[in-house]
Structure 1
Amino acid sequence: MPAPAFATPPQPVSTETRLAYVLRHFRLAYENVPDISIGYVDTQPQLQVADGAGGFFSQTNPYPAAPNMREWLGQSVPFFFDAEPQRPLLELLPSGHPIINADIISGAFYLLSGWQEYYSEERDQHGRFPYAASVQRQYGFVTMPVVNYYFDVLKTAIQHMVGHSLQPRTWLNGAQWAAFVTHDIDNLYSAWKAPTKAAIQRRDWPSLARHLWQHFTQKDAWDNLEEVQQTVASYEAKSTFFFLPEHRKAANGTPNADYKVQQALLVTQIRHLHRNTAEVAVHGSINADSVKLALETAAMREIVDLPFDSGIYLGNRFHYLKWEPTITPLIVESIPACYDSTLGFAEHFGFRNSYCLPFFPFNFQLRQECTFLEIPLNVMDATLHHPRYLQLAPEEILPAITPMLQEIERFGGVCTLLWHNENFDPANKNTGPRQFAEIMEYLRSRAVAFVNGQDIVGEMNKPTSTSS
């Protein structure tokens, strides 16, 4: 499935734009960043970076030349736009000022902006940029937040110049990293369907009768919103629930919700969650345009009684993680949204934009950062065992994702976890309550700050101090 044609011809992204975008995020990642000039060699700044991009950003090639692997922080890190790999990554000029000999500005911009998926025509059956087409897959670094490593090089150079350490930003109560626990509510009333269908196929009439009797006399196993909230709260953590306001199938037959969000009983349940510290957010439907997403957002605001003049805006995550880079940022920009949390690969846990902190997506049409904050998605339950994805055994899940979690902790980032409410059903032995508990126990053991989306936006909006 090809990407949509560009609404307007793509324009070159200037050196100044790339530099401003990357340094804006660098200054959001650290406290007490000194006010020194950082730029390319030809402008003679205080801290120089080699220019290795050439004319790449004036063209529409989705992929640069293969990166060179360099050692940093004990890891083999891919450096794109590295024109002189024989030179040390970081060295001192005769003036005593450092120079970074790989173009980490262009590398960071390329990865953080999502350049590859904007210009690639590769799309999967759901219209998504596929992991298989990514540089993360090609060069094997999906679980490494490469942009954070680039920022650490820049931080080290600055520390040499100013003689004191730059500290990563901290989270609630001074925690060194944070976890964002989320639940996409796609299904509430469908737990009975699969076992009933299986009983029919087996001609197991006693089991069929039992499943039907349970369906008509007991609450569905997936109708468990309060139980989910209580389970998460037992770890002294917070839940964020993304509700899907559209119950009709998409035009291509892809299902949306199996419930109607404005049904009276469900409205009561959602309001109860909201009153009991849960965050309620929007799960934008398949192929929602600006008008549709605005209507879905308005519906959820009405349910939680959130007036538009309150100054509080709901977060969003698109159903099926559907994100078309040529149009989706413009859709989110068009509504009052405080954050989005769609950007993760469905096929693999890790870092779709090679960054473990929230960031502002790049608007390629206007060639500037978007106004909404992206809280990237790192690990989704379906990724771990789905037949089309990783198919990890239950005991393999925590060991598999632990190195990624360690990277997030190392750089003071945010781990975004998506665990669907249906996978709190005890019948799920693969990505069910036990596997969720193991992940939560690990996070709690590492003194993580459990936050919701509103917390993250508030923290990211706090000014970081600047030293002179």
Structure 2
Amino acid sequence: MTDHIVKITSSPDCISEKQFVFDVMIRDFLKLDYALEILDEADGYSITFEEKQILIPDVFFDQIYKKDHKLLPEVEAYQTGYDNASLDKLPGWFANKQRTNDSGIRTLPVDVIGMAFFLMSGYADIHFAEKDTHQRRIGSTSFIAKKNLIDRPIIQEWFTVLAGHLFGDEELKPGKKLPAYLKHISHDVDQPFEYLNYSKIRLIKRLAGDVLVRKKPKKAKKRYQLYKKVKDGNYRVDPYNNFNEIVRLLEKHDLKSTFFFISGKPKSEYDAIYDIEHPAISDILKQVHTAGHEIGLHPSYKTRHNPDLLRKEVQKLQKVCKSLGINTPVETSRKHYLRWDWRHTPRILQKTGIKHDYTLGYADRTGYRAGVAFPFRAFDWESKKSLAIKLHPLIVMEASLLANKYMGHTVKEAGQKIVFYHNQLNRLGGEFVLLWHNHELIEPEKLTLFKKFLSL
């Protein structure tokens, strides 16, 4: 049994932080266990599996982290020593250019352990990315965007190189040593209905806009008719209530989704306005559950630093589900507005019983915020240790691609980007997490693009 354990030696410096990376790299990525030996005289890392050994320099923790340096690292291309057309040369940083290895043991040219911590703990975002008005890190100001790395899972590629050196090329196929490729479709239910919560003032403004601004009186008439029908209890005619169509499409492609619902009362202008206990919402909850999809929590805007409010919302959604005969625990979440705080969010989520979170992406950019596309345990900046909660990096949100305030792609360009990520992960393995809001599947072009992703 011990033959299948990865053996690691490291110096004792920053060992908790290093163990976070070992947990992610060996347990979460390779699905193996490891034995750690701490040696005062260790100069870098030694990683051994059966008869194969590889050395990795310790640059980040030894030269940067302990000294709290805030210089943006320089990225260069490095030969990986691995004979694979797509992996023989990779961008890297934290290279140790002064030291040479004369022992004949294979050595990686960069500090992969430090690179992984730099991105996967949030260190790079915390120190180098700017914040927007919602206190979110802005993807376009991030290290990985500035260094043109955001569109490649660079840490996962280096992990794959490490695996290649340890196990050989035959094992480097998704579903073997590499994570299997899967598509995880998800839907944030921000607006399950267009008209259910319309006030009369809002209706008047929209009707006036149809007639006076858009010059479409027929649209105003149709809007008023739909408003009346929905208010009278005919919820199926509401254009945003397209869950029947979504469930049908997912079933056609034998895919399961996670639907994230908001259970808290609105406490800010950015919160969604619907009552999780409304009979119309109950119908949707039962529908997605009966079809075998997961129900998760979409924590409201002000839960970012409020564990008590978050706990109440978890309990509320659990209570509503139980009253409908849905007895599966609420253990999955994605934060509203993707309001993520590396220093506090993982710990707060875990304390409220959340085991899996799907928030980790930038609002303004698609791609690989943490440098990987597989679920990994979170780092806790308070205890400096790994948490149990798993983070599932968000690769694509439809608004990131299509909204003019973000990337502003055309539907055609967005489709090309989605296929690009699909091809990457189909080769490397990993989880393609896609977020598509139900109310953004109304326009035929967007619906066609969504169908294209399902059929990939």
| 1:276 paired residue among 291, 294, 298 | 291
1:29 counterpart = 2:29: yes
What is the CA–CA distance in structure 2 between the aligned matches of 1:205 and 1:223, rounded to whole Å?
24
1:354 aligned partner, one-letter code: G
| 2:124 paired residue among 112, 116, 130 | 116
2:90 aligned partner, one-letter code: V
| 1:146 paired residue among 126, 143, 154 | 154
What is the CA–CA distance in structure 2 between the aligned matches of 1:352 and 1:241, rounded to whole Å?
22
1:208 aligned partner, one-letter code: A
**Deviations 1:52-75 (CA, angstroms, capped at 9, x unpaired):** 224311244555421222255536
1:50 aligned partner, one-letter code: P
1:277 aligned partner, one-letter code: G
What is the CA–CA distance in structure 2 between the aligned matches of 1:280 and 1:377, rounded to whole Å?
17
- Kindly indicate whether the alpha-carbon contact (under 8 Å) linking 1:41 and 1:49 is maintained by their aligned counterparts in 2: no
The residue aligned with 1:348 is: 365
1:160-171 equivalences in 2 (<5 Å)? 166-167=171-172, 170=175
SS of the residue corresponding to residue 364 of structure 2 reads: coil
| 2:344 paired residue among 327, 333, 338 | 327
Structure 2 residue ranges without an equivalent (≥5): 1-11, 47-52, 231-236
- Kindly indicate whether the alpha-carbon contact (under 8 Å) linking 2:297 and 2:330 is maintained by their aligned counterparts in 1: no
Q: 1:268 to 1:211 in 2, by over 3 A?
A: closer
- Kindly indicate whether the alpha-carbon contact (under 8 Å) linking 1:62 and 1:115 is maintained by their aligned counterparts in 2: no
1:80 aligned partner, one-letter code: W
What is the CA–CA distance in structure 2 between the aligned matches of 1:232 and 1:317, rounded to whole Å?
20
1:439 counterpart = 2:435: no
What is the CA–CA distance in structure 1 between the aligned matches of 2:396 and 2:420, rounded to whole Å?
12
| 1:81 paired residue among 94, 104, 112 | 94
| 1:267 paired residue among 262, 268, 282 | 282
What is the CA–CA distance in structure 2 between the aligned matches of 1:138 and 1:223, rounded to whole Å?
40
What is the CA–CA distance in structure 1 between the aligned matches of 2:19 and 2:323, rounded to whole Å?
35
Provide the aligned C-alpha RMSD in A. Answer: 3.1
| 1:137 paired residue among 121, 139, 145 | 145
What is the CA–CA distance in structure 2 between the aligned matches of 1:55 and 1:180, rounded to whole Å?
39
TM-score (norm 1): 0.80
Q: 1:322 to 1:85 in 2, by over 3 A?
A: farther
1:388: how far off? 0.7
1:312: how far off? 4.0
What is the CA–CA distance in structure 1 between the aligned matches of 2:378 and 2:367, rounded to whole Å?
17
- Kindly indicate whether the alpha-carbon contact (under 8 Å) linking 2:174 and 2:428 is maintained by their aligned counterparts in 1: no
SS of the residue corresponding to residue 378 of structure 1 reads: strand
Q: 1:429 to 1:41 in 2, by over 3 A?
A: farther
1:168: how far off? 5.9
The residue aligned with 2:9 is: none
- Kindly indicate whether the alpha-carbon contact (under 8 Å) linking 1:176 and 1:412 is maintained by their aligned counterparts in 2: yes
**Deviations 1:67-103 (CA, angstroms, capped at 9, x unpaired):** 222255536532111131997xxxx843x42222311
What is the CA–CA distance in structure 2 between the aligned matches of 1:44 and 1:52, rounded to whole Å?
10
1:372-451 equivalences in 2 (<5 Å)? 372-425=389-442, 428-430=443-445, 432-442=446-456
1:183 counterpart = 2:204: no
What is the CA–CA distance in structure 2 between the aligned matches of 1:120 and 1:293, rounded to whole Å?
28
1:127 aligned partner, one-letter code: Q
1:214: how far off? 2.5
- Kindly indicate whether the alpha-carbon contact (under 8 Å) linking 1:184 and 1:418 is maintained by their aligned counterparts in 2: yes
The residue aligned with 1:52 is: 59
- Size of the aligned set, in residue pairs, is 412
Deviates more, 1:298-307 or 1:119-128: 298-307
- Kindly indicate whether the alpha-carbon contact (under 8 Å) linking 1:182 and 1:419 is maintained by their aligned counterparts in 2: yes
The residue aligned with 1:157 is: 165
| 2:221 paired residue among 195, 203, 209 | 209
Q: 1:33 to 1:299 in 2, by over 3 A?
A: closer
What is the CA–CA distance in structure 2 between the aligned matches of 1:298 and 1:169, rounded to whole Å?
38
- Kindly indicate whether the alpha-carbon contact (under 8 Å) linking 2:128 and 2:142 is maintained by their aligned counterparts in 1: no
TM-score (norm 2): 0.81
1:212 aligned partner, one-letter code: Y
Q: 1:21 to 1:202 in 2, by over 3 A?
A: closer
What is the CA–CA distance in structure 2 between the aligned matches of 1:295 and 1:249, rounded to whole Å?
13
1:270: how far off? 0.7
**Deviations 1:429-464 (CA, angstroms, capped at 9, x unpaired):** 45x21010111111xxxxxxxxxxxxxxxxxxxxxx
1:26 aligned partner, one-letter code: M
2:227 aligned partner, one-letter code: H
1:378: how far off? 0.5
What is the CA–CA distance in structure 2 between the aligned matches of 1:66 and 1:247, rounded to whole Å?
46
Q: 1:34 to 1:221 in 2, by over 3 A?
A: same
SS of the residue corresponding to residue 128 of structure 1 reads: coil
Q: 1:71 to 1:43 in 2, by over 3 A?
A: closer
1:187 aligned partner, one-letter code: Q
Q: Which has the higher contact order (CA 8 A, sep 6+)?
A: 1
What is the CA–CA distance in structure 2 between the aligned matches of 1:269 and 1:111, rounded to whole Å?
37
**Deviations 1:178-212 (CA, angstroms, capped at 9, x unpaired):** 11110000002227979743434245434322321
Q: 1:386 to 1:43 in 2, by over 3 A?
A: closer
Q: 1:51 to 1:326 in 2, by over 3 A?
A: closer
1:115: how far off? 0.4
Q: 1:400 to 1:331 in 2, by over 3 A?
A: same
Structure 1 residue ranges without an equivalent (≥5): 1-12, 443-468
SS of the residue corresponding to residue 280 of structure 1 reads: strand
What is the CA–CA distance in structure 2 between the aligned matches of 1:402 and 1:234, rounded to whole Å?
20
1:17 aligned partner, one-letter code: S
SS of the residue corresponding to residue 371 of structure 1 reads: strand
The residue aligned with 1:452 is: none
SS of the residue corresponding to residue 376 of structure 2 reads: coil
SS of the residue corresponding to residue 305 of structure 1 reads: helix
2:226 aligned partner, one-letter code: Q
SS of the residue corresponding to residue 123 of structure 1 reads: coil
- Kindly indicate whether the alpha-carbon contact (under 8 Å) linking 1:62 and 1:116 is maintained by their aligned counterparts in 2: no
- Kindly indicate whether the alpha-carbon contact (under 8 Å) linking 2:150 and 2:367 is maintained by their aligned counterparts in 1: yes
Q: 1:184 to 1:311 in 2, by over 3 A?
A: closer
